[in-house]
Amino acid sequence: MTFREFLSDKIGRIMLWLAGTGAAALFLAATGTQDGVIVILLLFLLLIGSVVQTVDFLRQRSRIAELESILENLEQKYLFTECISSSGGIYERRLFDLTRRAGQAMISAVSDAESAQREYREYVESWVHEIKAPLTAARLLCRQLDGNIRRKMDYELARIEAHIERALFYARTETPDRDCVIRQAALSEIVFQAIENHRTLLIQNGVRIETQNLDYQVYTDKIWVVFILGQLLQNSARYRGTDPVITISAKPLGKQVQLIIQDNGIGIPAHELPRIFDRGFTGSNGRSRGGSTGMGLYLCKKLSGFLALDIRMTSKEGAWTCATLTFPVKENLTKM
């Protein structure tokens, strides 16, 4: 707080005090008090008033600095009112008491909301695991169908599983510290697992996969990266061109490892590239081909942030799209 701010806050009281001092001076002059005495009294009153206002300013500035220091040092700043002492006058004590009661009500509401969110997330995870049983049964029943119908049913079931998996990982983003486990993993195993998980979708869309130079070890959560790769494979299959091919390769980048996933699909318009990781953004390709939720790449970006995994997308409309994943080194992960 500056002295100018203090004066602007006290201007009404100061003006009233000056008016009272002036009225007192006029009264003394009217009663015949000598001018020298009046001047001395006025100077004395002005001096006393200035000292009082200066002391009040210094006290308030010190109190505000103390409160700001307490707030800055708090990790959970919503507990501010619980960590301060109302050492001022009755007005400050009453004000802080009201603020503390309001803060306690807010904390209670936030706690209830977090509890409800946690219960919903647990329900979603439970539902995802339960729904896998009937899906597996449906796949077994599909084997008894004719070839063409069987292929169509497999394709639709694969789409359902992809949506279910997306819902599961969306729920897991709320508690990454509980669900994410960083350890050493073979990059080739991660890539082949992602391909296997989406084998039906890739075959149905006639997509050919080419892999190169995947013999690297990375530090990450294998399950999460398999999901991220799966979303990229799904996008490449959905927005494929003629004779679709996805090339997956890796290369060292100092101590880091880069995984590159490139397709020869329809590409992404240049003006849409900055928004592809936004939640719910489908773009012109998603609207024209349908079936897009705008959640796949959003989840990829969010999960990558938890893994310290850098994900970047480049594209040329009508020609190709390339996703580059840069895995962190072990030393950087230990500092997280």
Q: Is the pTM of this model over 0.85?
A: no
Q: Is the pLDDT of residue 37 over 70?
A: yes
Residue 252 lies in a domain: yes
Q: Is the pLDDT of residue 335 over 50?
A: no
Per-residue pLDDT, 321: 93
Per-residue pLDDT, 313: 93
Mean pLDDT of 4-20: 79
Does residue 69 sit in the same domain as residue 195?
Answer: no
CATH number at residue 296: 3.30.565.10
- Tally the domains of the chain: 2
Residue 114 lies in a domain: no
User: At which of 105, 123, 151 does a domain end?
Assistant: 105
Residue 98 lies in a domain: yes
Q: What percent of the chain has pLDDT over 90?
A: 24
Mean pLDDT of 58-67: 80
**How do residues 126-143 score in pLDDT, each as one tens digit?**
777 788 788 878 878 887
Structural domain including 65 reads: 3-105
Residue 250 lies in a domain: yes
Highest mean pLDDT among 25-29, 78-82, 276-280: 276-280
DSSP 228-275: HHHHHHHHHHHT--SS-EEEEEEEEETTEEEEEEEE-SS---GGGGGG
Does residue 220 sit in the same domain as residue 89?
Answer: no
Helical (H) or strand (E) element with 260? strand 256-263
Please give the Cα distance from 244 to 255 (Å, whole number).
33
**How do residues 218-257 score in pLDDT, each as one tens digit?**
999 999 999 999 999 999 998 988 889 999 999 998 889 9
Q: What is the mean pLDDT of the chain?
A: 83
Residue 156 lies in a domain: no
The angle that helices 147-172 and 90-142 make with each other, rounded to 10 degrees, is 160
